Amino acid sequence: MEEVIKIDKSEVMPLLPLRGISIFPGMLLNFDVERSISVTALNTALGSDQLIFLVAQKDAAKEMPAEDDLYRIGTICRVKQLLRVPGGPMVRVMVEGIRRAKLINLTSESPCFFAKIESIFDEPCETLGVRTEALLRRCYGLFDEYISLSGTASPETLASIVSRDDPGYVSDFVAQNVYLRHSQKQILLAETNPVRRLELVNRFLKREIDILSIEQGLQERAHEQLSRNHRTYFLREQMKLIQAELGEGDEQNELEEYREKIVDMEFEAEVEEKLLKEVTRLSKQHHSSSEAAVIRNYLDIVLELPWKKTTRETLDIAKAKKILDDDHFGLEKVKERVIEFLAVRQLAPGMKGGVLCLVGPPGVGKTSVAISIARATNRKLARLSLGGVHDESEIRGHRKTYVGAMPGRIINGMSQAKSKNPVLLLDEIDKLGSDFRGDPSAALLEALDGEQNYAFRDHFLELPYDLSDVFFITTANTTDTIPRPLLDRMEVIPIGSYTDEEKLQIAKRHLLPKQRKKHGLKAVQLKLSDDAIREIIALYTRESGVRILEREIAAVCRKTAVLIAEEKCKSQNIKSGMLEAMLGAPRYKPDIARSADEVGLVRGLAWTSVGGETLDVEVGIVPGSGKLELTGNLGNVMKESAHAAITYIRSRSDVLGIDSDFYKNKDIHIHFPEGAVPKDGPSAGMAICVAVISALTNTPARRDVAMTGEITLRGRILPIGGLREKTMAALRAEAHTVIIPSDNEKDIEEIDQTVRGALNFVLADHVDNILDIALARTPTAATDDKANSRKRAEIVIQDSAEHSAPVNMCQ
């Protein structure tokens, strides 16, 4: 049914915008007016017929509304009373609503709003029917319930409308005296059908009653809780007084502090329940008992752990690169792996921590790299030295029931870092031992496994602790002593020994500035030329890392400091040849090439813990009964290589031009100089074989060729390790050609660029293929032998203009 609105003639009258309130026809309303334009509208109304049009603003916060900011339906009111409040522009006004009206448009905005309006009348209401009577009774009941719940109106308010049977008046009265939202009141103002308006009022009233019921229920529960809290408070205060009299007050305070800390830290249900049980157990113990001390120590350690505290990671790759480059020269693989880790964290923030194992000889910077990684990622660092640890409890902790029990090193490291996502450095993991007290490496399996370390259980804590956000970094000198299951959980990154050129750069960029600062010297007071640093490296150190080099530079700084302190000089500019006065006579002599090729003397290559070394093989042949003598403090593997070489030579004696009965009528003596140094490993097999062939054929071996490789009974050459260090040793010994197994071709890219540019590399898969290169044969002998042997091995790499000129590291 369409609305039928009776409209009186339009008229113009002052308009007053209302903020946050509304008025219905037939109702009285008191409110304060402060805006000058609204005060002017009231004065204008008083000066004429006391009529004014009141309409609500859509946005109550708007100070000066425009026409679009006003609702269209308002109320024509009569100003009943106007009272000016002393001391300000505010006036208090009382108005009476007369009838609804519709805003047509604003005719003027100065000195106040004037509006053209049209009156709106309610639709005629038919005789009071059963449905309307039911709606009225429903409205009386709801209004009565609202009054009792809200307490904002007196019971007499209901009595003033019970006798009225006008649905329009009743709905307007209730709407005026009930809290409704602004939009709801506007809906009621716009409704001209009294019965429908009454239905809307009932609906709004029911919703408000439901809200008030919920509020009242919440208030009652809050009051009950408050009453319980008050009761508990008074009881606790009385208990404190009693305990104070008994001297037990401090103990109760301590228990409350523990409970508050446990609740505030928002543990998981299992952890919180366990800790609260411990507090309850503590409350039942005598304050000075040993059991109370154990529980107190346990709670203190658990609550100090960083259960949820994390540090914000730096995922800025450029910044991380700069930090790593500033701290370390070289080590590209390690830096690349750290940058990869940060890049993945940027794209997948939920990725958990990893496990890196830095493997390399002493002094190459494994520990300092881990410290730099912590700086680059902005994580806390905790360092745990595992060297010499034999007890499994050192890792997993002791049961707290034991006297002097403490958590393991992993949990101690977390407590030390005070962060849930630190860099945890497990130093010297290859030095772990095992005995009757257990195997510590087995205890590390759970901590380093990303699939299960989210619930690592320390024996002391007896609670699951999350280690999945920890970035584990382990260091080792070798992987040989690390158990396979533990090694399988780690990503191994080898760090090789430094070349002499790398040591030079490290000394210039890091070691020399560090030692100058440590000894109070300025850059102008001590200068070391590049040649002087090279001299220290070649003649005073023999190491894979730079520790001894740093100590020698520190010695130079001390000597310089003495000279400056005694005022014998103001500065030192040290060049090559000036070091003997400061550091004494050189400790090492550089390997130099022999003056001539010799029979039975071949230069092999060996890997040691301090880098690569040359290893000469000497073979002597004398008449005898076929005795094989091996000397030089050799291990079993190297002795087996010598026997394999002899067997191969016997099988090829016809091709090599050797007496087939040499193993019966000649004694062979194979010797490795420096007999006090133990030697072992299979990679000397090729050098032994060539040296024996040289001695048996009386053919000199070339002095500028070095070689490494394991041989088989059939003369095949198998791959070896440590190629990077061995080739550096070959360069220092002034070798020009290095023979390596064909299977090691993939390792050539890891060799330092300077070394690659200075050496010729020959790849060989069989001894027959290298004899022309390794032995200095006469042209005739060489031609004859070529006819009977397989083709010569290919020289695969000989860098020329692409690389820098060869650098003699020993000068």
Strand order in the sheet with 666-671: 628-631, 666-671, 611-623, 601-608, 705-707, 737-741, 760-764, 795-797
The torsion region of residue 687 among left (phi > 0), alpha (psi -120 to 50) and beta comes to alpha
Q: How far apart are alpha carbons 720 and 726 in whole angstroms?
A: 10
CB atoms within 10 A of CB 492: 15
How is 230-284 classified by DSSP, letter by letter?
Answer: HHHHHHHHHHHHHHHHHT-HHHHHHHHHHHHHHHHTT--HHHHHHHHHHHHHHHT
In this predicted structure, what is the pLDDT of residue 212?
85
| Owner of token pair 């902005």 | 378
Q: Is 317 exposed, middle or buried (0-12, 13-18, 19+ CB in 10 A)?
A: middle
Annotation marks residue 726 as catalytic: yes
Beta-bridge mates of residue 97: 77
CB atoms within 10 A of CB 701: 25
In this predicted structure, what is the pLDDT of residue 788?
42
Task: Name the active-site residue from 185, 420, 666, 726.
Answer: 726
Q: What is the dihedral of CA 411, 412, 417, 422, to 10 degrees?
A: -40
AA identity, residue 283: S
In this predicted structure, what is the pLDDT of residue 360?
80
Task: Name the active-site residue from 441, 683, 694, 742.
Answer: 683
CA angle 85, 87, 92 (to 5 degrees): 15
How is 723-739 classified by DSSP, letter by letter?
Answer: HHHHHHHHHHTT-SEEE
> What confidence tens digit (pLDDT) does each residue in 181-239 have?
888 888 888 888 888 888 888 898 888 888 888 888 888 887 777 777 777 777 777 77
Q: How far apart are alpha carbons 38 and 353 in whole angstroms?
A: 67
In the chain, the domains with their CATH numbers are: 6-121 (2.30.130.40), 130-214 (1.20.58.1480), 248-304 (no CATH), 317-493 (3.40.50.300), 500-583 (1.10.8.60), 598-797 (3.30.230.10)
Strand order in the sheet with 471-476: 381-385, 423-427, 471-476, 355-359, 491-494
In this predicted structure, what is the pLDDT of residue 164?
78
Question: Using an 8 Å Cβ cutoff, are 726 and 612 in contact?
Answer: yes
Provide the CA 59 distance to its chain's centre, in angstroms.
Answer: 49
In this predicted structure, what is the pLDDT of residue 787?
41
Give pLDDT < 70 ranges for the chain.
Answer: 1-9, 126-127, 240, 243-252, 288, 350, 353, 435-438, 591-593, 609-610, 777-811
